[in-house]
């Protein structure tokens, strides 16, 4: 069953703390979080879920936030779920409180989410994130320049006979 974003989203970020944390509003994750239209993304990803059957899904904002963090920091599913548990900025991006982040998700949930939305859903998320980054001025052009220079190197592999004859013997 699909659990969409509420129309008037109230952050539950401050409910679990005695003193609300002070976050740097100039941090990249805060800027990205404030620019992305999570309600619009939620409506566009709604078609990948059954309506009215099954248990409620994990919040779309949290799943999208985890995908953004995963690609932003180039880490695995396990590392990004660990980051969610310990990093306040990751919790802010995902719209989760401290308590929710600790009992929220495991790495297999992220895999199931990617499988559910498929390439089409990932494409929708990519378009929104790129639009957001262009609005922020972090992505400018429409072309990407790649350097495909190849540098030759004489590498000796451990299976080469020279390696074992010179270095592999015990002395």
For residue range 55-68, list pLDDT tens digits in order: 788 888 999 999 99
For residue range 6-47, list pLDDT tens digits in order: 665 555 555 555 455 688 888 889 888 888 888 988 889 888
pTM: 0.69
**Sign of the C-alpha dihedral, residues 144, 38, 125, 29?**
positive
Structure tokens at 63: 């799943």
What is the Cβ-side half-sphere exposure of residue 132, based on CA atoms within 13 angstroms? 20
Cβ burial of 114 (10 Å; 0-12, 13-18, 19+) is middle
Q: Where are the domains of the chain?
A: 28-143
Find, among 48, 50, 62, 42, the residue nearest to 1 by Cα.
50
């Amino acid at each position: 069953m699909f659990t969409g974003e509420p129309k008037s989203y109230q952050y539950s970020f401050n409910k679990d703390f005695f003193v609300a944390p002070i976050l740097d509003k100039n941090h990249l994750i805060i800027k990205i979080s404030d620019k992305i239209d999570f309600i619009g993304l939620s409506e566009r990803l709604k078609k990948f879920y059954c309506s009215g059957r099954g248990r409620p899904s994990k919040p779309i904002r949290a799943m999208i936030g985890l995908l953004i963090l995963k690609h932003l920091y180039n880490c695995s599913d396990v590392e990004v779920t660990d980051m969610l548990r310990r990093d306040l900025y990751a919790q802010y991006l995902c719209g989760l409180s401290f308590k929710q982040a600790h009992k929220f998700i495991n790495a297999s949930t992220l895999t199931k989410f990617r499988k559910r939305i498929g390439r089409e859903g990932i494409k929708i998320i990519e378009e929104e994130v790129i639009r957001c980054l262009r609005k922020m001025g972090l992505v400018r052009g429409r072309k990407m320049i790649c350097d495909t220079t190849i540098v030759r190197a004489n590498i000796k592999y451990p299976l080469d006979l020279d390696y074992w004859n010179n270095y592999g013997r015990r002395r």
